[in-house]
Structure 1
Amino acid sequence: MGAISAAREATSAVIRNPLLMVVMLFAGIAQVPSLAVQFANSGTILIVGGIISVVFLLLVPFFYGGVIGMAADALNGKTDLRKFLHEGRDNYLTIFGAYVLFFVAMVAFVIVLSLVGGIGGFAAVSFGQAGSGTGAGAASLLAVIVVPLVMFVLFVAFVFFLQFFGQAIVLDDRGVIGGFKGSINAVRGNKLSTLGYMVVVMLFSMVFSVIGVLIGALPALVGANDLLVVGAVLVVVLVVATGVFGAFTATYGVAFYRQISAPME
């Protein structure tokens, strides 16, 4: 299965190139100001944290392109920071444009789904209220469960086919639209493997989600005296996890994309 073999490749590449973990460690450190804002009472800290967060978002395309380039090099043998800087600089505008287009398309997609789902749900509820017995129950079930489920599946499918646009841009030297086309074409012929890949990535993402939830819930979980200490420990754990798991998932994405986008022999 491509997802498993790509995971093995990625693990070997990261072990062979610990520099990838160092680079991702800085990505974790860059998130600290946005986490600190959650507990800040000072207006100045909020403003500074907000500015840093905006700068971080603007740098994400550069960072993403650089890490993809480094990961590709690492899979072939060894990599260095020059590759990171080169790929980040050369692909910044393209990836930035792709991010903007992806965000706009996702918002539009969600709006359309919400409208269609809302109309469908309203129609189902109206039908249920007008009817009685089994028909009313089925209509209510449709409104409460089926419609939201269909909307969720369609949203996941949207992300499912477009998730490799960054890899397509950097590795295949594509433009914005070409990056999305490359992702769709690669996934279209490898749906089952891509599903396995997404499951692995989601399992790793759960680590960050749990840590994030714990950090957000700290004021309610610990006393004021322990808040700073426990918060600092969780932030350190988050930064280290970003370094280790972030390096793996970034390299894993490149290894998997290269497998599913390779011409069939």
Structure 2
Amino acid sequence: MAVLPAFKDGVTVLREHPVILLAGLLFALVGQVTSAGEVVDSWIVSALGVVVAFLIGPFFLGGLIGMALEALEGSKPTLGLFVESGTRFYVSLLGATVLLTGLFFVLVFVGTLVGVVSVFAGFAATGAESGAAGLLGVGIGLLVFLGVFLVAFVAFLFLQFFNTAIVVDGERAIDSFSRSVSLVRANLRSVIGYSLLWIAVWTVAFAPIIGLELVLVEPGLADGVQFDRTVAQAVTIGLAVLVTGIGYAYLYAVHTSYYTRLGSADGGADGARSANA
């Protein structure tokens, strides 16, 4: 069973190599560029932030996974390795990220289109004035939503190891998806358990941040207490960077450990090693 040992490896890696925490915080800081538009109240800044985070994110992800791999192999990761690994695998990671984003966009778009058409078809079939039409429309909408969510989750489940396949095994963008699918098919029950636990850890970590943001930023939720909106947003962004940075460092160390454990058990591809090649 590789799931629990991988999560333990994440703790060990961060305890023995805290420099990985710094890499995680840098990654999180880049991700929070998208929040700058909220602070200055500009959708243009928000849009530019999304583009910047999307383009730079693969570099930080490659560097973070490279450092985690180096630590798991018993060597000492450095920020120099972070830059080297991020640079080496940037093109493949960016290409794979673009493809994956496009896939999920198509899934959501098609699902939404099917949902809207199905709801209108339901109204047309039962009569717009009928109370049953409203119930049918809601029911169809929920079913379509659940269907899209299920398809998206399955896609995530089978493709989630594309990033480690690129950094650990030196796969190209397209091949990284094939490698991920192959690994998941060979270890499906284990991967399902791992994925649910991975998501649960993220959810538990972020729940307090979301709650704090609602209290500080949304008017009326904290009765009798007044907060300066800009200060409140700055506080929540700072806390989000801290929590996200620790989460990135820990969970991608876990992700790398789990991938290498499955790859070893599965007789995975030799590939190129990110740090030593």
Please indicate, yes or no, whether the TM-score normalized by the shorter chain is above 0.5: yes
Could you list the per-position Cα deviations for residues 206-230 of structure 1 after superposition, in whole angstroms to 9, with x for gaps in the alignment? 2335524643661414555544554
| Counterpart selection for 1:180 from 173, 177, 191 | 177
2:36, 2:49 within 8 Å by CA — same for their partners in 1?
A: no
In structure 2, the gaps of 5 or more residues are 268-277
One-letter amino acid matched to 1:76? E
Aligned partners of 2:108, 2:44: CA distance in 1, in Å?
30
| Percent sequence identity over aligned pairs | 29
In structure 1, the gaps of 5 or more residues are 130-134
Two-structure CA RMSD over aligned residues (Å): 3.2
Relative to 1, partners in 2 of residues 1:173 and 1:6: Cα closer, same or farther, differing over 3 Å?
A: same
Question: Which residue in 1 is equivalent to 2:140?
Answer: 143
Relative to 1, partners in 2 of residues 1:48 and 1:148: Cα closer, same or farther, differing over 3 Å?
A: closer
Could you list the per-position Cα deviations for residues 123-182 of structure 1 after superposition, in whole angstroms to 9, with x for gaps in the alignment? 5666666xxxxx99x977862544432332112111111111111111111111101101
Q: TM-score, structure 2 length as denominator?
A: 0.79
- State the Cα distance separating 1:4 from its structure 2 match: 1.1
Question: Which residue in 2 is equivalent to 1:132?
Answer: none
Could you list the per-position Cα deviations for residues 90-130 of structure 1 after superposition, in whole angstroms to 9, with x for gaps in the alignment? 1111111111111112222223334445555555666666x
Question: Which residue in 1 is equivalent to 2:256?
Answer: 254
Q: Which structure dedicates a bigger proportion of its chain to helix? A: 1
Question: Which residue in 2 is equivalent to 1:218?
Answer: 217
Q: TM-score, structure 1 length as denominator?
A: 0.82
Relative to 1, partners in 2 of residues 1:146 and 1:235: Cα closer, same or farther, differing over 3 Å?
A: closer
Q: Tell me, yes or no, if structure 1 residue 166 matches structure 2 residue 168.
A: no
Question: Which residue in 1 is equivalent to 2:11?
Answer: 11
Once the two structures are superposed, the pairs formed by residues 78-157 of structure 1 within 5 Å of their partners are 78-118=76-116, 143-157=140-154
Relative to 1, partners in 2 of residues 1:116 and 1:34: Cα closer, same or farther, differing over 3 Å?
A: closer
Q: Tell me, yes or no, if structure 1 residue 73 matches structure 2 residue 70.
A: yes
Aligned partners of 1:258, 1:125: CA distance in 2, in Å?
52
Aligned partners of 1:50, 1:111: CA distance in 2, in Å?
20
1:95, 1:166 within 8 Å by CA — same for their partners in 2?
A: yes
Relative to 1, partners in 2 of residues 1:224 and 1:9: Cα closer, same or farther, differing over 3 Å?
A: same
Aligned partners of 1:261, 1:121: CA distance in 2, in Å?
45
Question: Which residue in 2 is equivalent to 1:237?
Answer: 239
One-letter amino acid matched to 1:245? G
- Between Structure 1 and Structure 2, how many residues are aligned? 260
Is the partner of 2:254 in helix, strand or coil? helix
Question: Which residue in 2 is equivalent to 1:190?
Answer: 187
One-letter amino acid matched to 1:154? V
Greater Cα offset, 49-58 or 187-196? 49-58
